[in-house]
Structure 1
Amino acid sequence: MRSAEHLFEGSDGGGNGIAVRAAGALCWRVRRKQLEVLLIHRQRYDDWSWPKGKLDQGETLPECAVREVAEEVGLPIKLGIPLPTIRYPVKPGLKEVHYWAAATGDMPPLPDGKEVDTVLWCQVGKARGLLTNPSDVVPLDALAAAHEAGRLETWPLIVVRHAKAKPRSAWTRAEGERPLAATGKRQALYVQRLLMAWHPDKVVTSGWVRCLTTIAPYAQASRAKVKVTHWLTEADHKRKPAKVGALFDRLLAKGTPVAVCTHRPVLPTVLATLADHMDDGLADALPGTDPHLAPGEMLVAHVSVAAPGTIVALEAHKPYDD
């Protein structure tokens, strides 16, 4: 595994001739200073693997990963760093499985036997020997390498561009009052569902209507603490862009999972600040051209616990646009 990882994709993982898309997670914990992972045994296939499954209709990859872990092993999780995607042939064609790390110290309940009949916490070496599908070792090795490098335990800082708004040309009132378009309102519900995969405890947002409306469904569903700051608006950022950089420096120093909702013209300052907190290889993966993020799109920066303020992985997820 490289010193830092990135994953940029759409809500369904894109095309590339993939017949089946799936997602799952490598649940991990540390016991007696040893990294342990959670394996499942499926009686239907008589195999040892990771909790995973196919996307439901309209579901995003992160949502699928969280749901499958809950269904197969009964554990609620929050996603950590993205792990390597694996591909292998199945009857319909090529299957692509996206994986995330997920820290948990809980012992799962006894499986119901419908899909999984046994779960097992074990150290990496034993897991490597038990896994039935050789390709399942790839995310395991990446997980172990991240642990050895002190980059496995992270918290998320999520940058959200507000959802699609009514056109400026069709709005004659104050710019701060310009609302979301019909598509934007649907994107806001997507944002709510997707943010649940990381479940940030705090939301910081521009006070303009289109940002407040984008983040409202998540704030209501999660009861996250919401803070409105005028420096994230287009107008105040234009006056003093350094205030936005200082805000992100403070958020990175605090170490609290957070989502930040802002506007397209503010994003260059945000991304430049984030780049200062990661190595050059990862910074090269940041979106470099305008508009940087599509309406409703989010950039998830995974921040190291062992090295406070250091971003070690990135991923981006786009909303649908109908």
Structure 2
Amino acid sequence: MAAVTTIRAAGGVVHRRTAGRTEVCLVHRPRYDDWSLPKGKLEPGEHPLVAAVREVAEETGLRAVPQLRLPGVRYRRDGRPKVVDYWSMRAAGGARFRPHAEVDDLRWLPVAQAARLLSYRHDRDVLRAFAALPAVSCELTAVRHASAYRRGTWTGPDDARPVDPGGWRQAAAVAPLLALAGPVRLLSAPARRCVQTLDPLAGLLDLPIEVDSDLGEPRPGQDAQERALATAGRLVELAAEGRPVAVCSQGKVLPRALDLLVATAGTGPGRDGPERNGRVGPRPRRDSPHETAKGTGWLLAFAGDRLVGADRLTPVRRGDGHPLG
């Protein structure tokens, strides 16, 4: 008996602020005569987040920036299990909506009105989860540098150690994920392998790469916690500017910095790093939930100076259509 394959789909709760209120986008599908959240099936080997942004654009004509992951939905369609991943998305422009075969109408509605119009309970559940989220003020993306030549085989300075052939493939694979947030600046730790990891993204967006020492690993004799505080503070500073930025950092600092931002959420970290009552926040555990494999990253959502969401950005493995990890 042949195995039943799961249908994979992705979409978003696309929102905008109009006249001081939040409105969300719903679409009408003539095939089903229903009102739903924009979504669609993944293409073979496609990352769910890439599919979500693509499907929103195809169904609505909107360019949308993903912010926070929402609860997924599972149900059966034509006897097959179906899984839909959702993200909250900020409407960032795009072409005027034109009715087409899949979607013949689009409406922007306040959340309460949208919930009444939606045809399915599972869509209303997703919308309810969106309504409970804090308002995101800035999206950042952060990536750990890709695989580099081993220190034992490199005779020059460690900061000059380059990305290896596998690392170049990793950098090329993660670049489209980082680009989804629409970064307007690219910042890298000083190490050559960090700068090179952002090269494919720089090519996609036609942006220069800026070197930022606050994103680098501790030098000999420097305290690792202090370096993590500097990186966390730098991320907060960038978020406060309110413009999307992509950064590349290193394995000894990025997970610690994210741990600190999560641990001190809501305490108002400043430029010198997250602190509580003048003291450094709790030290991250060794088994950090933010451990980051080389060539993978994070979509970071901030509400003011608070990190309110960290969603892993892991490229899809060739052949199986699912993210690594």
Q: Answer whether TM exceeds 0.5 for this pair.
A: yes
Q: Summarize the alignment of residues 120-139 of structure 1 with structure 2, pairs less than 5 Å apart.
A: 120-139=107-126
2:84 maps to: 97
For the Cα contact (< 8 Å) 2:214–2:234, is it kept in 1?
A: no
Return the alpha-carbon distance in structure 2 between the equivalents of residues 233 and 78 of structure 1.
27
Return the alpha-carbon distance in structure 2 between the equivalents of residues 131 and 121 of structure 1.
12
The aligned amino acid for 1:115 is E
1:294 maps to: 293
1:161 maps to: 144
**Unaligned residue ranges in structure 1 (runs of 5+):** 1-16
1:88 Cα deviation after fit: 0.9
Return the alpha-carbon distance in structure 2 between the equivalents of residues 287 and 24 of structure 1.
34
For the Cα contact (< 8 Å) 1:83–1:98, is it kept in 2?
A: yes
Alignment partner for residue 222 of structure 1, among 182, 199, 205? 205
Aligned: 1:232 with 2:215: yes
For the Cα contact (< 8 Å) 2:61–2:95, is it kept in 1?
A: yes
TM-score by length of 2: 0.81
1:132 Cα deviation after fit: 1.7
Q: Which runs of 4+ in 1 moved over 4 A?
A: 105-108
1:164 Cα deviation after fit: 1.7
Return the alpha-carbon distance in structure 2 between the equivalents of residues 229 and 250 of structure 1.
9
The aligned amino acid for 2:86 is Y
Return the alpha-carbon distance in structure 1 between the equivalents of residues 125 and 293 of structure 2.
31
Q: Summarize the alignment of residues 264-279 of structure 1 with structure 2, pairs less than 5 Å apart.
A: 264-278=251-265
Return the alpha-carbon distance in structure 1 between the equivalents of residues 285 and 139 of structure 2.
18
For the Cα contact (< 8 Å) 2:75–2:82, is it kept in 1?
A: yes
For the Cα contact (< 8 Å) 1:81–1:152, is it kept in 2?
A: no
Alignment partner for residue 213 of structure 1, among 196, 211, 221? 196
Return the alpha-carbon distance in structure 2 between the equivalents of residues 187 and 23 of structure 1.
23
1:29 Cα deviation after fit: 1.9
Return the alpha-carbon distance in structure 1 between the equivalents of residues 50 and 177 of structure 2.
6
CA gap of 1:271–1:145, structure 2 versus 1, over 3 A, is closer
Cα shift readout 1:179-233 (whole Å, capped 9, x = no counterpart): 2222211111122100111122222212222111111111222234532023433
1:6 maps to: none
Return the alpha-carbon distance in structure 1 between the equivalents of residues 214 and 262 of structure 2.
20
SS in 2 for 1:113: coil
Alignment RMSD: 2.9
TM-score by length of 1: 0.81
CA gap of 1:227–1:277, structure 2 versus 1, over 3 A, is farther
Give the length in aligned residue pairs: 296
Query: Is the deviation greater in 94-103 or in 219-228?
Result: 219-228
Cα shift readout 1:246-273 (whole Å, capped 9, x = no counterpart): 3431431333322221221223442343
SS in 1 for 2:132: helix
The aligned amino acid for 2:62 is L
SS in 1 for 2:293: coil
Q: Summarize the alignment of residues 235-274 of structure 1 with structure 2, pairs less than 5 Å apart.
A: 236=219, 239=222, 241=224, 242-253=226-237, 254-255=240-241, 256-274=243-261
Q: Summarize the alignment of residues 25-40 of structure 1 with structure 2, pairs less than 5 Å apart.
A: 25-40=12-27
Return the alpha-carbon distance in structure 2 between the equivalents of residues 62 and 248 of structure 1.
25
1:312 maps to: 308
Query: Is the deviation greater in 200-209 or in 247-256?
Result: 247-256
2:158 maps to: 175
1:133 Cα deviation after fit: 2.0
The aligned amino acid for 2:292 is L
1:106 Cα deviation after fit: 5.3
The aligned amino acid for 2:298 is L
For the Cα contact (< 8 Å) 2:145–2:295, is it kept in 1?
A: yes
Q: Which protein, 1 or 2, shows the higher relative CO under an 8 Å CA cutoff with sep ≥ 6?
A: 1
Return the alpha-carbon distance in structure 1 between the equivalents of residues 126 and 215 of structure 2.
37
2:273 maps to: none
For the Cα contact (< 8 Å) 2:255–2:292, is it kept in 1?
A: no
CA gap of 1:26–1:316, structure 2 versus 1, over 3 A, is same
Return the alpha-carbon distance in structure 2 between the equivalents of residues 62 and 38 of structure 1.
18
Return the alpha-carbon distance in structure 1 between the equivalents of residues 5 and 285 of structure 2.
25
Higher helix proportion, which one?
1
